[in-house]
Amino acid sequence: MNSQLAKKKKVFVGLSGGVDSSVSAALLKKAGYEITGVFIKGWHPDWGPCGWQEDRLDAMRVCAHLGIPFRDLDLSREYKKEVVDYMVSEYKAGRTPNPDVMCNQKIKFGAFFDWVMAQGANFVATGHYAQTQNLKRKTQSYSSKLKISKDLNKDQTYFLWTLTQHELSRTLFPIGHLIKPAVRKLAKKFGLPTAEKKDSQGLCFVGKVDLPDFLSHFLKPKKGKVLLASNEVEGNGNEKEIGWHDGAFFLTISQRHGFTITQKTPADEPYYIVAKDVKKNTITVSQGTKRLNLKAKPFCPVLLRDVNWISGALPDFKKIYLARFRYRQPLQEIKIKSCSSQTTTSLWQSDCLQIEFQNPQGAIAPGQSLVIYTKTGECLGGGIIV
């Protein structure tokens, strides 16, 4: 980190109580920034896990150890409205939402970012595994790029595709150039109280929860039919009822748990959800992972809505790009086409895009985020699968 840049620069670090954000704060202080640690309180139901109190204490301990100010920020109301309500409504409609994307957009780089800027800070910093690259406007039409982290297994750019130049140009990712073992090593070197703490898992701010159980507090379970895919039914080829489930809105495409099969087959292979109908409250299943790709074809278009380009400009649609529609999924080659004829207009957002995969893809579910990359590791943006 540039020590000259750090002089007299105020940075508010989002401290989760974990090792990644703790090391981020330590590195920024070492670089000479004026650091303030902030613990963001999200929404936590009475019936859910309550580990946030311990996380807050750990964040306080880190600040005390580093000798930096500690602040609390209660964003529970915003989190309930923007993340939880969104997630429940998407599942109710039969789509597969990504609450971590919404958490970053509306909370960490929304309400938290705005609050930090109102406090007079120069930068926001988080423990995300991502990198930024600043460019001179004389040579580029934008000033900041979002790049994948050095640790490809931990890279979190998939959850950051909604960022714009407004947020990215004033955001620091201090550990994006490191791999996880190096972060752990630094935590011990700095003597941080979180050095041995296990990585957090589960829903952003809420923690590790059983999704059907979580949703059952908002959506009433409703018994429905499990149907065997018609191509696997002997005889007339119609779908056949082979089991039951507690509600199609609790389940998602490619899932292999959460339903009961009452009519087993000699093959005894696992069943995967390949389709669902929320209105009829049915799910359709198929055996074997290869069967998930039966309906997938090269160049079969996937439509995106709510598209965001981080640079503020459309990319060159003549090029081949890479994309993923699940976290940690291997990147896939794609072509991008506009749903309209105006493909040369410089826009921050586009109403609709067509994504054509160069190889067959399976288990693509509406509501998921599809995130687009260059072959050099830049995250260009993304959209929501229709």
In tens, the pLDDT along 154-181 reads: 999 999 999 999 999 999 999 999 999 9
- Topology classification of domain 8-127+174-200: Rossmann fold (3.40.50)
pLDDT, mean of residues 190-210: 82
CA–CA separation, 123 and 89 (whole Å): 33
Beta strand pairing call for 10-14 and 123-125: parallel
pLDDT number for residue 200? 78
Active site residue 379: no
The DSSP letter of residue 203 is B
Position 344 scores a pLDDT of: 41
What is the per-residue pLDDT for 324?
97
377: left (phi over 0), alpha (psi -120 to 50) or beta: left
User: 50, 63, 103, 339: which one is catalytic?
Assistant: 103
Least confident of 47-61, 92-106, 196-210, 339-353: 339-353
Residue 69: its pLDDT value, please?
98
The class of domain 301-385 in CATH terms is mainly beta
Confidence of residue 199 (pLDDT cuts 50, 70, 90): confident
Q: Residue 155: its pLDDT value, please?
A: 98
- Residue 70 phi/psi, 5° resolution? -120, 135
Annotation says 103 is catalytic: yes
CB neighbour list of residue 341: distance below 8 Å, 6 or more residues apart:
none
Please pick, among 50, 63, 204, 352, the residue that the annotation labels catalytic: 204
Does residue 228 sit in helix, strand or coil? strand
Q: Where are the domains of the chain?
A: 8-127+174-200, 214-293, 301-385
Which residue did the predictor score with more confidence, 264 or 316? Answer: 316
Helices and strands per DSSP (H, E), number in the chain: 10, 19
Mean pLDDT of all residues in 320-349: 78
pLDDT given at position 295: 47
Q: List the single range of 5-9, 22-26, 195-199, 319-323 with lowest mean pLDDT.
A: 5-9
Q: Is the pLDDT of residue 347 over 60?
A: no
Q: Token pair of 53, please?
A: 């109190």
Q: What is the pLDDT of residues 235-293, one digit of tens each?
A: 555 788 999 999 999 998 888 889 999 987 766 788 999 889 999 999 999 886 555 54
The predicted model gives 227-242 an average pLDDT of 75
What are the structure tokens assigned to 145, written together? 């790029």
The sheet with strand 171-172 has its strands ordered as 70-74, 34-41, 10-14, 123-125, 171-172
pLDDT at residue 121 in the model? 97
Q: What are phi and psi of 194, to 5 degrees?
A: -100, 10
Assess if CATH 3.40.1280.10 describes domain 214-293.
no
Cα dihedral value 103, 154, 124, 367, nearest 10 = -20
79: left (phi over 0), alpha (psi -120 to 50) or beta: alpha
Provide the percentage of residues in the chain whose pLDDT is more than 70.
Answer: 85
pLDDT at 47: 75
Q: What is the residue-wise DSSP string for 78-139?
A: HHIIIIIHHHHHHHHTT----HHHHHIIIIIIIIHHHHHHHTT-SEEE---SEEEEE--TTT
